[in-house]
Amino acid sequence: MTPETAAQERLGGIYAFGAYFLWGFMPLYFILLAPIGPWEVVVWRILFSLVFCAILLTITRTWPKLLAILRDRRLVFWTIIAGLLIYVNWQVFLIGILTGHVIEGSLGYFINPIVTVLLGVLVLHERLRPAQWAAIAIAVVAVVVIIVAYGTFPWIALTLAASFGAYGLVKKQIGPKVDAISGLTLESLWLTPIALVQLIVVANTTGLVFGTQGAGHTVLVTLAGVITAVPLLLFAAGARRAPLVVIGLLQFVAPIMQFLTGWWMLGEPMPLERWIGFGLVWVALIVLMVDSIASARGSRRASAVVDLA
């Protein structure tokens, strides 16, 4: 590895860590928006993300890239699917945070890597190694423990894991043809009709909170577009530079921070049954991480042997 490549990988790790670190703080940001409800927050998140991305496209002069994507029907289709999936993820995430289920939301992102592996089997017909199957089995047992022992179905966690896992799969189908800014712009654009309908429904039921809680609160809500876009852009920059193993290890920064926020800062309950369920998920993740690191090292050794030959 050349010094330049090593420097780029380190920079990629820093970018990725920054993205996950900011995602880890998101529950605290959205809690600050109270008394605004989750359905209204998603509306402003979509609309202000679109505005912020339009500004970025203008500053970076990358409107031609966006127009080129719009001429490709396949890419347009996949960006629509990505938009719908991220809408489900955002909405459920906010329902979890603003109804006192931050810990369950963190469980969803802990499970997400395992769901991603499972989707690889079901959708891409990938073959799993024994350790990966073991991790999936342990995670299933963990969910069963939480349902049976704790007495609740973790629908928030499972929906977050499934929607974000599927979102990642769609992003893989799109590949590098859609850059981060254009992708988020289009996803926000396709969701704008949903956001406007949701805005009307909220206005005619519970009433709109935006603009009624003082200038400081209004500014905080307006920043939803920036809060949404910045981590995504950092992640895109990091994913292009850092090895997959590094990205895989760093992805646990956000759920760990969210878990600590819910348990330590917000005082959400963690009875023994829940600790057992979470403990099983963490064991599954350790199995998955060890297997990923071992596989990556094996691939490097194989590449080195090929190069020497």
> For residue range 186-228, what is the model confidence (pLDDT) as tens digits?
999 999 999 999 999 999 999 999 999 999 999 999 999 999 8
As a whole-number percent, the residues of the chain with pLDDT over 90 amount to 57
Question: What is the per-residue pLDDT for 266?
Answer: 92
pLDDT band at 26 (very low <50, low <70, confident <90, very high): very high
CA angle 305, 306, 309 (to 5 degrees): 85
Output the pTM of the full model: 0.88
DSSP state of 213: S
CA angle 186, 193, 163 (to 5 degrees): 60
Average pLDDT, the chain: 88
CA angle 12, 18, 19 (to 5 degrees): 90
Question: What is the per-residue pLDDT for 112?
Answer: 87
Question: What is the per-residue pLDDT for 171?
Answer: 83
pLDDT band at 301 (very low <50, low <70, confident <90, very high): low
Do 131 and 287 touch, CB atoms closer than 8 A? Answer: yes
- Please indicate whether residue 248 or residue 294 has the higher confidence score (pLDDT): 294
Give dist(CA 276, CA 184) in Å, integer: 38
- Please indicate whether residue 59 or residue 233 has the higher confidence score (pLDDT): 59
> For residue range 103-139, what is the model confidence (pLDDT) as tens digits?
999 999 999 888 888 888 888 777 888 888 898 899 8
- Please indicate whether residue 44 or residue 145 has the higher confidence score (pLDDT): 44
DSSP state of 251: T
> For residue range 41-92, what is the model confidence (pLDDT) as tens digits?
999 999 999 999 999 999 999 999 999 999 999 999 999 999 999 999 999 9
Average pLDDT over residues 25-35: 93
Q: Indicate whether 295 pLDDT > 60.
A: yes
Q: Indicate whether 306 pLDDT > 60.
A: no
Q: Indicate whether 308 pLDDT > 60.
A: no
Question: What is the per-residue pLDDT for 121?
Answer: 82
Q: Indicate whether 283 pLDDT > 90.
A: yes
Question: What is the per-residue pLDDT for 76?
Answer: 95
pLDDT band at 178 (very low <50, low <70, confident <90, very high): confident
Average pLDDT over residues 265-283: 91
Average pLDDT over residues 18-37: 92
pLDDT band at 304 (very low <50, low <70, confident <90, very high): low
Question: What is the per-residue pLDDT for 52?
Answer: 94
Question: What is the per-residue pLDDT for 305?
Answer: 53
Six token digits for residue 12 = 């990629």
Question: What is the per-residue pLDDT for 262?
Answer: 93
> For residue range 252-272, what is the model confidence (pLDDT) as tens digits?
899 999 999 999 999 999 988
Contacts (Cβ under 8 Å, ≥6 apart) of 91: 38, 39, 42
Q: Indicate whether 31 pLDDT > 60.
A: yes
Give dist(CA 243, CA 153) in Å, integer: 36
The distance of Cα 273 from the centroid of its chain, to the nearest Å, equals 27
